[in-house]
Amino acid sequence: MKYIDIAFFPGCTMPGVAMGYEASSRLVFKKLGINFIDFEDFSCCAPMFVENISPNAHLAISARNLAIAEEKNLDIITFCSGCYSTLKKASYEIFNKNQNFEKANAILKKLNKKFENKIKIYHGLEFIKNKIGYSEIKKNIKFHFKGLNLASFHGCHISRPSEIVQFEDPEYPTSLDELISLLKGNIINYEGKFDCCGGTIKNLQDNISLEILRIKLKSLKQLKADAVILACPFCFYQFDAGQKVIFTQFKEKYEIPILTFTDLLGLAFGLPRKNLGLQTHRVKLKKFLQKFDEINGIENLND
Query: What mean pLDDT is predicted for residues 84-102?
Result: 88
Please tell me the pTM assigned to this model.
0.95
Can you tell me the mean pLDDT for 70-81?
98
The closest alpha carbon to 157, from 119, 120, 200, belongs to 200
- Angular region, 21: left φ>0, alpha ψ -120 to 50, beta rest: alpha
Q: At what angle do helices 81-96 and 98-110 cross, to 10 degrees?
A: 110
Q: In degrees, to the nearest 5, what angle opens at C-alpha 232 toward C-alphas 226 and 234?
A: 100
Question: Given a cut of 80, is residue 303 above it in pLDDT?
Answer: no
pLDDT at 174 exceeding the cut of 60: yes
What pLDDT does residue 141 have? Answer: 99
The pLDDT of residue 95: 83
| Confidence (pLDDT) at 254 | 98
Domains defined along the chain, listed by start: 4-124 (1.20.1050.140), 143-296 (3.40.50.11810)
Q: If pLDDT is split at 50, 70 and 90, which confidence band does 178 have?
A: very high
| Contact present, 65 and 42 (Cβ < 8 Å) | yes
The tens digit of pLDDT for each residue in 239-295 reads 999 999 999 999 999 999 999 999 999 999 999 999 999 999 999 999 999 999 999
Taking 70 as the threshold, does the pLDDT of residue 301 lie above it?
Answer: no
What is the CB neighbour count within 10 angstroms for residue 35?
14
Among 110-119, 221-230, 257-266, which is the least confidently predicted range? 110-119
Alpha helices in 81-133 (DSSP H): 81-96, 98-110, 124-127
Residue 157 has pLDDT above 50, yes or no: yes
- Per-residue confidence (pLDDT) for residue 102, from 0 to 100: 85
Higher-pLDDT residue of 59 and 239 is: 239
In 3-state terms, what secondary structure has residue 114?
coil
Taking residue 204's Cβ as centre, other Cβ atoms within 10 Å add up to 8
Which run of H or of E encompasses 260?
strand 258-260
> How many CB atoms neighbour CB 258 within 10 A?
27
Whether the per-residue pLDDT at 27 is higher than 60: the answer is yes
Across 31-44, average pLDDT: 98
Residue 49's pLDDT band (cuts 50, 70, 90):
confident
pLDDT band at 180 (very low <50, low <70, confident <90, very high): very high
How much is the pLDDT for 57?
Answer: 87
**For residue 302, pLDDT beyond 50:** no
Q: How far apart are CA 4 and CA 37, in angstroms?
A: 10
Give me the DSSP letters along 230-282: ES-HHHHHHHHHHHHHHHHHH-------EEEHHHHHHHHHT--HHHHTGGG-S
Contacts of 120 (CB under 8 A, 6+ apart): 75, 76
**Dihedral angle of Cα 226, 213, 11, 43, to the nearest 10 degrees:** -170
Structural element, H or E, at residue 5: strand 4-9
**Higher pLDDT among residues 97 and 126, named by residue:** 126
CA distance 87 to 301: 39
